[in-house]
């Protein structure tokens, strides 16, 4: 079992002068769900090398057992420092693809033709794709084989408008994940703010927020186990 995890390379939070990137919990929790299940994991990002970490995701209030385990894991830290360039990988080498969130993906992966093609080709090959928190926003340009929006008519979730309001970034982000999924015809549903909530529609698995990252990974593993 081989799983590709795709991280952002974008580090600027709009025009605020603040830094962003990927959210550590959304990498660490799925990483260990996969690793402990015996999977081989490859990390990739648009620019390759070390992707930017959202500094807020490593503040004491955001740390978890999984993030602390990751930071103490030399193999994991080395893999993160040396991610593969996204254009060097294809779906053929992997059984599934997982996208951690953080605000960064809204700027780069949402518009990245390599990422869009990866998502489309993975699903067309009958392999699952899971995305959590802000990462479902990277589906905004993806198309189904008939040319319609990939999420049209599909059950999906992602970071909600009220969660974005709570972190004070509604006017900063290039688009709101919930609004964009709805605009493209997705059947958006949600749980309580900050509570784990995962939706699966066939091969497409989406999670609402950081707390949903491990449950989404476990849903992905369950799909792989059950074929």
Report the CATH number at residue 83.
3.40.50.880
d(CA 152, CA 182): 9
What tens digit of pLDDT does each residue of 63-79 get?
Answer: 999 999 999 999 999 99
pTM score: 0.97
pLDDT attached to residue 226: 86
- Reduced to 3 states (helix: H, G, I; strand: E, B; else coil), residue 74 is helix
**String of DSSP letters for 15-30:** TSS-B--B-HHHHHHH
Mean pLDDT of the residues in the chain: 97
Question: What are the residues whose beta carbons fall under 8 Å from the beta carbon of 93, sequence distance 6 or more?
Answer: 2, 4, 42
d(CA 145, CA 99): 21
User: Cβ atoms within 10 A of the Cβ of 40, count?
Assistant: 12
The total number of structural domains in the chain stands at 1
d(CA 28, CA 121): 26
Inform me whether the pLDDT recorded for 120 exceeds 80: yes
Residue 194 binned pLDDT confidence (cut-offs 50, 70, 90): very high
Inform me whether the pLDDT recorded for 219 exceeds 80: yes
The percentage of residues in the chain with a pLDDT greater than 70, rounded to a whole number, is 100
Domain with 58, as residue range(s), is 2-226
Tokens standing for residue 60: 């004491």
């Amino acid at each position: 079992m081989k799983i590709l995890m795709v991280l952002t390379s974008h580090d600027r939070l709009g025009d605020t002068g603040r830094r962003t990137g990927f959210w550590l919990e959304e990498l660490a929790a799925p990483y260990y769900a996969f690793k402990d299940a015996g999977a081989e994991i490859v990390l990739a990002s648009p620019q390759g090398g070390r992707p930017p970490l959202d500094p807020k995701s490593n503040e004491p209030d955001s740390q978890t057992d999984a993030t602390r385990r990751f930071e103490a894991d030399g193999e994991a830290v080395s893999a993160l420092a040396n991610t593969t360039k996204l254009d060097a990988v294809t779906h053929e080498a992997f059984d599934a693809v997982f996208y951690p969130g953080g605000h960064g993906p809204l700027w780069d992966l949402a518009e990245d033709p390599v990422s869009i093609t990866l998502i489309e080709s993975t699903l067309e090959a009958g392999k699952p794709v899971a995305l959590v928190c802000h990462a479902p926003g990277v589906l905004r340009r993806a198309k189904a084989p008939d040319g319609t929006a990939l999420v049209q008519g599909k059950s999906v979730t992602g970071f909600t408008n009220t969660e974005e309001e709570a972190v004070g970034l509604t006017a900063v982000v290039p688009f709101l994940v919930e609004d964009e999924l709805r605009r493209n015809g997705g059947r958006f549903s949600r749980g309580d703010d900050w509570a784990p909530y995962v939706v699966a529609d066939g091969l497409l698995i989406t999670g609402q927020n950081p707390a949903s990252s491990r449950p989404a990974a476990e849903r992905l593993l369950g799909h792989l186990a059950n074929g």
